[in-house]
Amino acid sequence: MFLARIFTLYPEFFPGPLGKGLYGKALSEKIWKLDTVNIRDYATDKHKTVDDTTYGGGSGMLIKPDVLANSLDSNLNSNEKIIYLSPKGKLFNQELAKKLCKEKTINLICGHFEGVDQRVIESRNIEEVSIGDFILSGGESAAFVMLDSIIRLLPGVLGNEISVEEESFENGLLEYPQYTKPQIWEKKTVPDVLLSGDHAKIKDWRLSQSEAITRDRRPDLWQKYKKN
């Protein structure tokens, strides 16, 4: 069973959307499990203080190192991966999702305010991961994004495993356009080739569409694809 342990100030946000549909079913089938740890439970003063002002000035607050470390040390087993969701982190992508779905347990720290004290990141060997070049108010929504993409890769979660393999990024390209019934909708018809029943031709058409879309929209992916 894959365990996601979330360190957060808002445990009530979870499992949220991840508890629904196929993912909810997979939860009850024990394919995966979600634990939340409320960082605030590890504050030691009577006001349950989790944050404090930054050294060197600035208006923001940071999550205190002692409180965060205490929450980690009280819940982790040795050698588990710890990830802090952070705009400074390495960019999350499908490749990392595939790597992380092979772990037994991942620990995700959701920051708030201006973030967390740097010393915890270093002392507990925490990896920083970003979901994109923008700033969120907290790490929870980033944790949802990461988990959503990881859970669908766990064996048994999606009914149709083939659909995972043909998606955008799997071959370094964006996906080709797709169509369903009715065949004519608002006077627009489906491309003829898809109705031809000629599987080799359909494969070629899809590849050329994927290439054109990738070249047009994502020059970065296109350069990498051409090199390989």
Q: Tell me which stretch binds ligand SAH (CB under 6 A): 40-48, 86-94, 171-179, 210-218.
A: 86-94
Residue of the chain from 5, 64, 112, 206 that contacts ligand SAH (CB under 6 A): 112
- Least distance in Å: CB of 115 to ligand SAH? 4
- Our CB check for ligand SAH shows the closer of 130 and 209 to be 130
As a whole number of angstroms, the distance between CA 43 and CA 18 comes to 28
As a whole number of angstroms, the distance between CA 120 and CA 21 comes to 36
**What are the angstrom distances between the C-alpha of 2 and each of 57, 103, 156?**
41, 7, 12
Instruction: Give the containing element (helix H, strand E) for 163.
Output: helix 162-165
Instruction: Give the containing element (helix H, strand E) for 215.
Output: helix 199-217
Q: Does 11 bind ligand SAH (CB under 6 A)?
A: no
Q: Does 114 bind ligand SAH (CB under 6 A)?
A: yes
Q: How many CB atoms lie within 10 A of CB 219?
A: 10
Single-letter code of the amino acid located at 58: G
Query: Minimal CB distance to ligand SAH: which residue?
Result: 111
Q: Does 131 bind ligand SAH (CB under 6 A)?
A: yes
3-class DSSP assignment, residue 220: helix
Residue of the chain from 20, 25, 48, 88 that contacts ligand SAH (CB under 6 A): 88
Q: Does 136 bind ligand SAH (CB under 6 A)?
A: yes
- Least distance in Å: CB of 97 to ligand SAH? 14
- Our CB check for ligand SAH shows the closer of 76 and 136 to be 136
